[in-house]
Amino acid sequence: MILSSTSEKPVGVIGAGNFGTVIANILAHSRKVLLYTRDEQTAVRIKSENQNKGYPLHANVEPVHDLQQIATQCDVLFPIVPSAHFRAMMRQLSPYLQPYHILIHGTKGFDITLPEGQSLENVTKLTRQQVKTMSEVIQEESVVVRVGCLAGPNLAKELAQRQPGATVVASHFNEVIQLGKRLLRNDRFQVYENNDIVGVEIAGVLKNIIAIASGALSGLGYGENAKGLLISRGAVEMVYLGRALGGDLKAFLGVAGIGDLVTTCNSPMSRNFTVGYRLAKGEKLPDILADMTEVAERCKHSAHCQKNVLIITKFALLLPTGCTKCFLKE
Amino acid sequence: MELLEEKKNKNRKYEPILEGIPDWPVYQLSKNRKEFIELVTQQSIIRIKALRPTRKQLIDDLEATAYREQNRIKRNRWRVDPKDDSRFWSYVKNELVELSSKDPETTGPIVDALLEKIVNRYANEIAGNFKPNSYRFTREVVKFWFQRLLNGARVKKFGAFFRNQYTLRDKIQVVGKVRMLRDLAKKGTVIMVPTHFSNLDSILIGWVIHAVGLPAFIYGAGLNLFNIKIFAYFMNSLGAYKVDRRKKNLPYLETLKMYSSLAIQKGAHSLFFPGGTRSRSGLIEKQLKLGLLSTAIEAQRNLYQQTPEGEVRKIFVVPVTLNYNFVLEAPDLIEDYLQVKGQDKYFPEQDKYGSMELLRFMFKFFTKGSNISVSIGPGLDVMGNYVDEAGNSLDPQGRIIDTRGYFISNGSITDDKQREDEYTRMLSQRIVSEYHRINRVFASHLAAFVAFEMWQKNILNWICSTCYACRKKTWNWTITNTARPLNGFEKGFTN
């Protein structure tokens, strides 16, 4: 039985990457925050240096390396780990989770489960049962049902500089949305609500593909006309695909859809954009990946940059504008 | 095939889990019927006032209620409706008309009194009337006559009528997690959620509940069934409460939900047909009615709230599927189904079945060598998690979890309607997936389905060759219907 109220309990952030660290700093304005990293040394290092990934740490943030500790001390957790490790992380965390926990994740990506012996390169068709969003992974792997997600044009660097920005907290549960708003909102950071969590999650993933293509366009030396075409038609594709996967139109028109799309497609700071740009300049993917300190979200765990594109095209959907893969190949 | 069916069924007999009827929660409920109705009335009024906080909103709702009720009386009267229905509602209407001419300051008590009258009337109509003697009597009558008919029809010997070679147990197969159901009923309150194909379902389920040794459950039975006198008697004695699908107004729905929720909190095992109405197409329900289901979640939360520490009586949801070889009212159901599919928005709520049809069905039921199967699914908690025999909720990895946590926010149990609506939706999805897991397919279903598919193809070929213009339309129609009626064509097969 938990007697103390959440307002006295710390909030947990799982994953001390760029975004995780920045979110921990934002949360630290209103609460004590436990920031989880996988290994002990990193936790010790962050603590002694009082900074992580170049971002100074707020005094309220305490680095930890024990999942059980973070789960028992916090009722509210923000898992922000790469999608490739998300399910594994949830499996480790799950034994300590209780039905009263609330999870709001900030991971953009799909979780793909393929039958033995198949990989994304040789699979011919994917079904919705094999492709899961992170909120679905949380519900599959744990008893937590009150799940939310965080998405929007949130470049970690700009957030850290306290530039004005906004995000969306999406959940089926109003209480989760309100909680997210209470915890994250400040005078420089607006928080919007959405109850279509799947739509928001999908928008956050699909925009990355268009961003890679946008980087490629710039790399090829094409101008703003081409980019306007790419973004607008890309947005339409996102809507088609998103609806087929169970999202709603509104999520794509909001901050998490168009908002994030425009940001990532225009920003040389964006990892996906950079990958596309350098690919178009004739570099090889392994080389790009090797010397990028920030790796394109979707590329980290795949030998092939087009993994996203593969996933999408393998849904065997006939998209009216042709597929993004063709954009890349050109 | 015939040989298999004639084989003695291994269904065993179960001892009752509670010896005397006086111990049964449903009996306790009906013994204190008056107090219980009063409680339902008061609680419903509180709820309705919370939903309609201003007096203006409340009056608007009462006006809408009176208008709809008068419409119902004019257009769609049933035999079971009380004699003074039209008098009562014109009285309500007159009172409301008078209100508009009065000073708004003084209308408060009048509106409250009117609301209480309406809610109390509804509560009285809904409330069941379980009588132990008539329950026992019904039980014996059903058993005796079913057995006589069964033997008379099946045993081909002199004096077959009085033989005891077959019992209902041979006719109705109960499979699945019976022992678990019995365990759960001892530990907590069971809510059974069966699929719904036939008007006979209620009686069948009543028999099953008795046969596996459980105390009588309370049912939400369609008020239309009470039009048939013989049904009304059985239903009443089995602990049914009445659900009138014609009444969609706020006071009625809230009273109904409150009745169910409070009865569950008092420990009365309940039965919902979550499909809301009989499946017209023969498809298993995909969309469940969430109204009554939400009362299970609400009741569980209330129980946790009332006892902040320690053991709480848990509520278990048990999905059940009923499978017939043929359905009594199939022709009518098909007609209804086609009417809806045909985009005809008019949907008559009439039942043409009287005692004669019932007898004819009974005869068919006993003479044809077809069995009814009842599959009892595993127990779920109100969140749709599986439970073990001891009633503990389990997560997918088999770890025990505390259901209380689902209602905790900020460290304490809170009342959040939006959250519970979402939980109800999740629970209904879990029930539907359980239905698909435990459902049984009969030979007649398969035959009917294949026949239908063949027929459909032929018709299509014919249409396509004759008329290009409507081909597209027809295709659309068939595509939406591919996973289609099983019961629909059974009449043709059994006659």
Report the C-alpha gap between B403 and B385 in whole angstroms: 9
CA-wise closest residue to B328 among B280, B368, B355, B360: B360
Pairing of strands A51-52, A55-56: antiparallel
Cβ contacts of residue B82 below 8 Å, gap of 6+?
B88, B125
| C-alpha distance from A227 to closest chain B C-alpha (Å) | 39
Residues facing residue B376 across a β-bridge: B176, B320
Q: Across the interface, which of A5, A7, A99 has its CB nearest the CB of B405? A: A99
Position with higher pLDDT, A318 vs B255: B255
Q: Across the interface, which of A5, A7, A143 has its CB nearest the CB of B395? A: A143
Number of alpha carbons in the 13 Å side-chain half-sphere of residue A43: 17
Window 53-82 of A: residues touching B by CB (8 A cutoff) are: 75
Q: Across the interface, which of A3, A7, A143 has its CB nearest the CB of B401? A: A143
Of the pLDDT bands very low, low, confident and very high (cuts 50, 70, 90), residue B480 is very low
| C-alpha distance from B53 to closest chain A C-alpha (Å) | 21
Report the C-alpha gap between A283 and B357 in whole angstroms: 81
Window 170-199 of A: residues touching B by CB (8 A cutoff) are: 172-175
pLDDT tens, position by position, B351-393: 555 666 666 666 666 665 556 788 888 999 999 999 998 889 9
**In the block, residue with structure tokens 């949801």:** B317
Is the distance from CB of A275 to CB of A305 less than 8 angstroms?
A: yes
CB pairs under 8 A between A and B: 59
Domains and CATH numbers, chain A: 8-195 (3.40.50.720), 199-329 (1.10.1040.10)
| Residues of A designated catalytic | 207
State the average pLDDT over residues B184-206. Answer: 82
Report the C-alpha gap between A26 and B231 in whole angstroms: 65
Number of alpha carbons in the 13 Å side-chain half-sphere of residue B71: 10
Of the pLDDT bands very low, low, confident and very high (cuts 50, 70, 90), residue B459 is low
**CA B68 to mean position of chain CA atoms:** 24
pLDDT tens, position by position, B114-137: 899 999 999 988 887 777 777 778
Give the 3-state secondary structure of B450-485: HHHHHHHHHHHHHHHHHCCCCHHHHHHHHHHCCCCC
pLDDT tens, position by position, B301-321: 989 988 877 778 899 999 998
Report the C-alpha gap between A244 and B349 in whole angstroms: 37
pLDDT tens, position by position, A46-66: 999 988 888 999 999 999 999
Is the distance from CB of A152 to CB of A255 less than 8 angstroms?
A: yes
| C-alpha distance from B430 to closest chain A C-alpha (Å) | 13
**Which residues in chain B have their CB less than 8 angstroms from residue A96's CB?**
none
Range among B54-58, B288-292, B358-362 with highest mean pLDDT value:
B54-58
Lowest mean pLDDT among A208-217, B7-16, B375-384: B7-16
Report the C-alpha gap between B79 and B476 in whole angstroms: 41
Q: What is the DSSP letter of A10?
A: -
pLDDT tens, position by position, A81-132: 998 889 999 999 999 999 999 999 999 888 988 888 888 778 878 888 888 9
Q: Across the interface, which of B401, B411, B419 has its CB nearest the CB of A173? A: B419
pLDDT reported for residue B120: 92
Q: Is the pTM here over 0.90, yes or no?
A: no
Residues of B with CB under 8 A from a CB of A: 308-309, 383, 385, 395-397, 399, 401-406, 408-412, 416, 418-419, 422-423, 426
Distance set, CA A17 to CA A52, A60, A109, A209 (Å): 8, 18, 15, 21
